[in-house]
Structure formats: C-alpha cells, structure tokens
Structure 1
Amino acid sequence: MVANDMQRCDELVNQFEQVIKKPIKTKTKTYYTGVDLGTACIVLVVMDENYQPVAGAYRYADVVRDGMVVDYIGAITIVRELKEKLEEQLSTELIYAASAIPPGTDTLDGGAIKNVVQSAGFELTNVLDEPTVANLVLNIKNGAVVDIGGGTTGISIIKDGKVIKVADEATGGTHLTLVTAGSYKLPFDQAELFKRDPKNQPELITVLKPVIEKIASIITEQIDGYDVDGLYLVGGTACLGGLEDIIEARTKIPTFKPANPMFVTPLGIALSCTDQLM
C-alpha cells in the first residue's frame, strides 16, 4: 500500500517537473491552479479539467515567514508575474485558483493569503491546511503527513482516510539555515543556498542533526495518543538528504518521503481547486 501510494505520488511529481520545462497546451474546458505561498519558495501548479499537470513555475522568495505574509506587495507581484508567464505559455487566461495555509493560522493570516491570490488576478475557490492538501497527492489512509516548511512544521493525522487532527509548530528550514550560517560563518542568504546544494548535505546533516531531532520531538508530541503507523514527509525542507533517517530513528516510526517533497503540497493545492467560488 505504501509503495503504491508513493509510486503514484512520485509519478505525479515527475509529470509536474516535466511540464515546468515543457508546458502542455490542451483543449481543456478549464484550468485549475494551485498557489503555494511558501516561506522560501512560491510555486504555481496548473492542471487541466482532468486534474493532470499541464504547466508550472516557481520562484524562491522571502515574502512569507512562519506562514505569515510579511511582504504583501512582493507576494502579489511574484504570483502575478508567474501567473502571466504561465498564461503566455498556455495561451489562455487562468481564472480559478486554490491556496493553502499552515494548520491553525486561518484566523491569524488566512485572510492575507486569500488577498494575495485574489489581488494577483485569480478567483479563489478553496483554502485548506497544507498537510491536508498534501494528502490529496499521497492518498494516505492511516498515518501522519508532516509538512516541513521554511518556518513551521505542520502535521495532519489521518485515520481511515480522514483527517482527525492538525497541528503546526515553529521550527523548519529557516532554523536549519540559521544553524548552517553560524556553523560555516556564512551570511543567511549564502547559508540557504549552501543548505540546498545536495553535494553539501552529507556533511551538513551531522551539523543539523539537533534541529532535525527537535522537529522529530514536535512530531512525537503531536501524535502522542494516536495510532500512527507511518510518517510521510513533504515540504521543501524535507528535500534535505538524510533528514528522514534521523526522524525515523528518533520517532521509532517508519518514515517515508517522495522523490521531490517540495512539489507535493503545491500539487495537492491544485487538486483541491474547483470552478466554484468560495
């Protein structure tokens, strides 16, 4: 079951990576767009009426921190620019979009996320929490989806295919970058690039182990009292090689991650998009 779920997820991610490079023009009746406003990266996914990826774009940015929009105009500008780029590639207007927020932040910043998407020219049709939309791609029936973002780690516990608990706590990629910056005497921006480079990660994973163990402790606390037989890691920070081994060793729970965890949540957001306005 796990192998099949992960295979399906990896296939969808692979399709998306291909259409980023070479968009597919189609005679679809409508397009569905997923807008993922991440702490480190903004991703747009475009799907056709059958919810198959046809185009996509992303840009690293510093407009969101800890799930909160801190550069409202900058966020709108980037989303609008990516939208226009995709519209040009597909020779169409993209109308409908969905987005997502960290669990429990709707009253704090959900409105800002919605306003960014709408101000960029989209009709907003859905806003769900990030780990829940990630499971639209993973299709996990029992377990916990762990979305490790730039500022926070979001967790959705799933039983019999239904989300029974969501939680979100500070600690994510930003904290890993800060440790990297301190350990290697690098400015924050350079440390972020250093962390992302796969060739640096075998050495870096040892330096970052205490922070990853902190993330594992957050997971353990949030799933306490629940029957969780597997952890499924998504989010850009989960791309760090070896992170899953430390989390599994600490939690004592089988831990899995897709080939490219960064695109799972954006794909799930697009899958949650409809042509019915909120």
Structure 2
Amino acid sequence: MGTQRLEGKIALVTGGSRGIGRAVVERLAQDGAVVALTYASNESAAHDVVERVRKDGGRAFALHAQLGRRGDAAALWSAFDAQIPQHAPGRSVDIIVNNAGIGRSANLTSLTEDGFDEVFAVNVRAPFFIVQEGLKRLRDAGRIINISSGAAHLAMPEAIAYGATKSALDNFTLNLAKELGARAITANSVAPGIIDTDVNAGWLRGNPEAEAHAASLAALGRVGQPEDVADIVAFLASDDARWVTGKVIDATGGSGL
C-alpha cells in the first residue's frame, strides 16, 4: 500500500469500473481511503476492481447506479447508506469524485434531442444532484473533484454537446467552491486530454499513426494514461491540496500549447 495519507477517509467515485475511474479508485484505496465505486452495467468489471483493491490490502465496494435518470442521485446515496456500515462506521463521506460520463460524436446538424438530453443528464445533471444529495453526508473539509475534459475549452464541432457539458461542469465546480468554502470543502475539476482507455481503444490502440498523432498533440510527447489523471485526483483529495479550490487542473500533458 501507499502513504496512507487518506487513512480514515471515505470516497465515492462514480464510473469506477474502468478507465480513469478505475485508476482513481485504485489510487485512493492505495492511499488508505475506503472507496465506494459505482458502475452502470458492467458488474463483473466493477467487482474485478474491488477484488484487485482488496488483494492489494485496500478497501472498496461496488454500487450499481444507472445515472442520467430522475431520482438517480437519491438511489445512489440510498445504496451507499445501506452498504457503508459494513465497510466504515457511520454514513459520512469525505471525497466525491464525479467521474462517470458519456460522449456523443455528433455535430450541430446531426445531434438529436434525445442524444442532447442524455449527454447532459449523465454529464451535468447527475453530478449536480449527486453533490446536492451528498451534502448532508459530506464532512467539513471534504473534497469534490469533477472529471472534466480538455474539450471544454476547445472548439470541437464533432462533439459539440460533450464539450458543452464539460464547460457546464467546470462552472458548477466554480460555484461549488464559492458556496462550500465556509465549510472548508474544496471543489476542483480535472481536465484530461486524450487518455488510453477503453473508450478510445477503437481508434487508438493498435494504430501507430493514430497513437503518434495523439502523442504529438501533447507537449510531453505521449498519450496520457489513466494513472496520470488518478495521481492528480489523489493530490486534490489529500490535505496537501487544502488551499486549492475552484480551479480546473489541466491534465492534457500540455496539449494545445
């Protein structure tokens, strides 16, 4: 295990069964937190994460949560309340990581109303109400970390709705920082660039030209890995980041410089 600087802390990570979310779960558990991770459909992947964490000496448990529907936040927290006594005393939480999200590869003329509503429901509405419902459980000096995207600050017409959701999430972060500062709760966004995850596997992995192009976009000259993002989240979750709030932390490896 790691430095245990999150010993005694309880974290909730949405979308924690794969990719960036999985790396965040593993890193927070390595640092000593009890981690509740949510999954939408891939139960086996979620339980694989839990088993890996436990094998490494950490503590984690999985919650099924279908986000993007009315009442999703209340259902998630009810499931959390039911399970947390088995893993840690009380029904409190110290760290909320809003990682779950979906993309829509559609431009202005092709995006449907249903597609628009779905991407905003999962990427914006769900984090909003997860935090709203979670505030009664979030301890003072807690942490809210929203996983945004470098796309929030770039013109990407082929993913116009996705970029808009991440811009909205960053504004949500800003307002949370102001609203909750009196309780010493910090709120920050982490904005990754191209990361080697299952979401990007179809066009990135096994395609040397695509990988070379993606690497060329970053000043650091490589494609990002989930652990690159998870380490930043771990910093923001720790007491070392107690004086950082209301910020969007660039995690693109210097893309677009």
In the superposition, the TM-score normalised over structure 1's length comes to 0.34
In the superposition, the TM-score normalised over structure 2's length comes to 0.36
